[in-house]
Amino acid sequence: MNKFLIIADDFTGANDTGVKLTEKGTPVEVVFSALNLNPSSSCVVDTETRNDAKNVAYGKVKDIINTINLDDYDIIYKKVDSTLRGNISDELMALTESYDPDYIVFDPALPSLEREVVNGNLLVSGEHLKKTEFAHDPLKPIENENIKKIFEQIYPTGLIRLYTLNELRNKELVLDLSKRYFCFDTENDTDMARVVHLFSGLKGKILWVGSSGLIEELINSQNEYNPSIALVGSVSEKTREQLKCAEKNGLSLVSLPIYQIYSSGDYSRYVKQITNLLKQHKDVIIMSSASYDRNELHKTRRLFKKDGICDEQLGSIVQTVLAGVCRKVISQQKVSGIFVTGGATAKGLLSMVNAEKTIVKEEVALGMPLLQIEGGEFNGINIISKAGAFGDSSLLVFALKKLHSYEKR
């Protein structure tokens, strides 16, 4: 794997980028002085300049960079805060003068925490950054929410290019390499992966600038991993919120019409759809149609009631359909692991594949254990389980990413 040199302006930022490397099995150290750098491995330098005066931050970063042999590293990354706090333009200028990159790529979005860039402006949970509490930080208030304007403070306007969402998502897009300073609108992880892909194989030195989101996609682009799948049968409002967040972050959702499948006894079309998505290296959420749409819940209950099936029996049918689809999919396509909402759904799956037991490995997050299946058809596969009605909106996105990182451990 490539060696990374990450320059962060505070300790927490240094750690939340460094941990992205360790999750992929790459050792990384956070150092407080460039004199402590180990050029044989990836490193993060904590400059502690976020709340310094502009000229002080510039001078510190310039001095640090000038003591490092940048040729020892494959990727140079400037970590910035996902709400644009700190002396971004000043530190970028110091890095640019010392490193002299051919191109600079700026994308501070962090979709998993609802930090997006739209029309060049950073939004937090859909609200303009300048209208949030981050804009009034007592130590370092936000000066600018527009990433193109941050570039314009230090670089020639004619060499700057902002790509909108429509442009970025155009599969025919070719970078305008007459420019040097690139910034991007980004709403989800798929957008961010597209940014990284655009620069893959490009000759010349690149300075990457972003939060922990962009570096995660950079690391993912260099690591082979199998996609993950989730099984969702819960119909709680919390689950619907998590599904919509996952959809917004570019995950593929496959909705199973439970009554239709129950009536026909055939779910082969859905197995084919899911398998095709996994082959495209996409994480997939397999869900009952009622999990996403409240109207589907009422419709499904009504149809089953006509057949004399009560809600308790309906729950068992949902679990059987989800488990059956998952079993068939995994017989055809390898995955990093499975995330399951609801203990009954998880137990139904384990019973169907004749698992003998699970080994508790660790707690991924509060109330979310990582297990390894022993025995049966899914022997050795990692599974994360949680109760249906808890967790923040980004939990599904978080869990599927976690399964990637656990695959090679």
Write the CB contacts of 98 (distance below 8 Å, at least 6 apart in sequence).
Answer: 62, 65, 66, 70
Alpha-carbon span 185 to 175, nearest angstrom = 14
What is the CB neighbour count within 10 angstroms for residue 299?
A: 15
Q: What is the pLDDT along the chain (409 residues), one digit of tens a residue?
A: 789 999 999 999 999 999 988 887 788 899 998 888 888 889 999 999 999 999 999 999 999 999 999 999 999 999 999 999 999 999 999 999 999 999 999 999 998 888 999 999 999 999 999 999 888 888 888 889 999 999 999 999 999 999 999 999 998 999 999 999 999 999 988 899 999 999 988 989 999 999 999 999 998 887 778 899 999 988 888 888 889 888 888 889 999 998 899 889 899 999 999 999 999 889 999 999 888 888 888 888 888 888 888 877 888 888 899 999 999 999 999 999 999 987 888 888 999 999 999 999 988 888 889 999 999 999 999 999 887 667 778 888 889 988 988 876 5
The confidence score (pLDDT) of residue 108 equals 96
What is the CB neighbour count within 10 angstroms for residue 346?
A: 23
What is the CB neighbour count within 10 angstroms for residue 354?
A: 11
Alpha-carbon span 316 to 233, nearest angstrom = 10
Per the DSSP assignment, residues forming a β-bridge with 106 are 183, 209
The confidence score (pLDDT) of residue 37 equals 83
The confidence score (pLDDT) of residue 284 equals 96
Question: Reduced to 3 states, what is the DSSP secondary structure of residue 160?
Answer: strand
What is the CB neighbour count within 10 angstroms for residue 205?
A: 14
Domain residue extents for the chain: 4-220, 229-407
The confidence score (pLDDT) of residue 409 equals 59
Q: What is the second-level CATH architecture of the domain 4-220?
A: 3-Layer(aba) Sandwich (3.40)
Contacts 24+ apart (CB under 8 A), 34-42: 34/64, 34/67, 34/68, 35/67, 37/68, 39/69, 39/72, 39/73, 41/3, 42/3, 42/4, 42/5, 42/6, 42/73
Alpha-carbon span 123 to 146, nearest angstrom = 10
Alpha-carbon span 104 to 119, nearest angstrom = 19
- The residue behind tokens 């400059």 is 47
Write the CB contacts of 408 (distance below 8 Å, at least 6 apart in sequence).
Answer: 24, 25, 225
pTM above 0.85, yes or no: no
Instruction: Determine contact, residues 251/396, Cβ cutoff 8 Å.
Output: yes
According to CATH, the topology of domain 229-407 is Molybdenum Cofactor Biosythetic Enzyme; Chain A (3.40.980)
Contacts 24+ apart (CB under 8 A), 246-249: 246/285, 246/396, 246/397, 246/400, 248/111, 248/187, 248/188, 249/111, 249/112, 249/188, 249/189, 249/190, 249/394, 249/397
Write the CB contacts of 400 (distance below 8 Å, at least 6 apart in sequence).
Answer: 228, 229, 230, 246, 251, 283, 285, 339
Helix (H) or strand (E) holding 46: strand 42-46
